Chains A and B, each alone.
Chain A
Amino acid sequence: MTTLVALMLRDMRLAVRVGGGALMGALFFLIVVVMVPFAVGPDLKLLARIGPAILWLGALLASLLALDRLFATDYEDGSLDLMMSAPTPLELTVAAKAIAHWLTTGLPLVVIAPLLGLMLNVEMGSMGWLMLTLLAGTPALTFIGLIGAALSVALRRGGLLLAVLVLPLTIPVLIFGVAAAEAAIAGPTPFGPAFTILCALSLASFVIGPFAAAAALRYGLE
């Protein structure tokens, strides 16, 4: 257990210190959301209607942004070799890295989402619900992206492959995330079913993601 805590602390410290991960994701999120009103025009009703969808799409793209470096840096400096031959099972190592990644890039997105919601004319009262869906759904994005990050290292291919691999897999998360948010804000469909499916997607990817990613990394050993 101490080994996993040590790994998480190291990854979080790196994310904060290097500044690439934590801050960049949040800034990218901000920029994507700011661009939308310019593209759509100053129609407040329309913005309010598509607001949850835009926030979810922004969060999805922002959480993908830093993912391709998740294993790449450790691969390039030889750390991954040591992690793979360490006594800690690779699945747990990979899961710990993903949790650290979510805490430094996913959680900030959830926290700044209400601020960005203001720009999209989302009601203040609905913001709590929207945050709740993001909180429940962004871990799924990280753990699905984990598989892509491991594959892109194993196949020695860069960032774009990751997006191509991962984005189609995140469609269910996007569907139920937006559905839950819109149900909470506008109705008439109930919030419960969509939200529970969203939670289920997060939990399932939490289990499947580390195993698939560890398998991909082992395959890449050649």
Chain B
Amino acid sequence: MADATFTGALEKDARKIGVFKPETTRLMQLTAENLTCLRGGREVFRDVSFALKSGEALLVTGRNGAGKSSLLRLIAGLVRIASGTLALTGGEAEAAIGEQAHYLGHLDALKPALTVAENLRFWTEFLGPSSGDIEPALAAVDLAPLSDLPAAYLSAGQRRRLSIARLVAVPRALWLLDEPTSALDAASQTRLSDLMRRHLTSGGMIIAATHGAIGLERARELKMGAQ
């Protein structure tokens, strides 16, 4: 019973959809030192270091196979760190980095048999806590008119937008975006840039692996495979 009221209080929390608000005004910082990644016994990259503070974005660039995706998966906790350290300070002390991060990979994590709204509602409930209201998130990626359509009928760009809606619906500090603009048309790319800027101004962090510009002016760049 006490547990239920506590969750209720959390939900009534003044979190506005689409804007990540840190619990406190503390500055968060993600620090990576000399990260090395091994996959299938082969070294993908070694000695990658960077630091990222609240409100900052990092663009990971490099040729194909340089380890951009592996770096994002490693930060999300989906690939083991072979050596080096990765620490997030100022966040929730008990939670792993992956639990405070949104990972947007090449795969959309959508079920074709579920409708647009059902897909998003599931991920908001599963990844929560969130306000539970998915309408603003769907509107933010311009998919509100299609909410009752099974995801099987979506185009590649629409599927991408639906998975981006997940980032908007559940507030999390760190966004790990792997080629976020792939399959998106010009208008959707602009909308994504706006969402990313809003996330940064509200104190979030973004690490994006990309080949082209994604509309973030002040972003720093981390070149992979240059060593």
Contact = CB atoms under 8 A, between A and B. Distances in A.
Interface in B10-55: 39-40
A76 B108 CA distance: 10
Interface stretch (A6-14, A137-145, A146-154, A166-174): A6-14
Nearest to A96: B126
Contacts of B99: 85-87
B114 A77 contact: no
B16 to A, nearest CB: 21
A77 B112 CA distance: 10
Nearest to A222: B39
B95 A78 contact: no
A34 to B, nearest CB: 30
Interface stretch (B56-64, B76-84, B186-194, B207-215): B76-84
Contacts of A14: 111, 113-114
A82 B128 CA distance: 12
A18 B126 contact: no
Contacts of B107: 76-78, 81
Interface centre among B98, B111, B114 (most CB of A within 10 A): B111
Interface string A63-86: 000000000000011110111111
B145 to A, nearest CB: 22
Contacts of B113: 13-14, 17-18
B69 to A, nearest CB: 11
- Interface size class for chain A? 20 to 34
A222 B79 contact: yes
B177 to A, nearest CB: 14
Contact of A77 (B76, B101, B108, B126): B108
Closest 8 CB pairs of A and B: A78-B107, A85-B98, A6-B125, A78-B109, A79-B109, A17-B113, A87-B99, A10-B122
Interface of B: 7, 39-40, 73, 76-80, 95-96, 98-99, 101, 103, 105-111, 113-114, 118, 121-123, 125-128
24 contacts: A3-B126, A6-B121, A6-B122, A6-B126, A7-B126, A10-B111, A14-B114, A17-B113, A18-B113, A76-B107, A77-B111, A78-B106, A81-B76, A81-B107, A83-B126, A84-B98, A85-B76, A86-B126, A87-B95, A87-B99, A87-B127, A221-B79, A221-B80, A222-B80
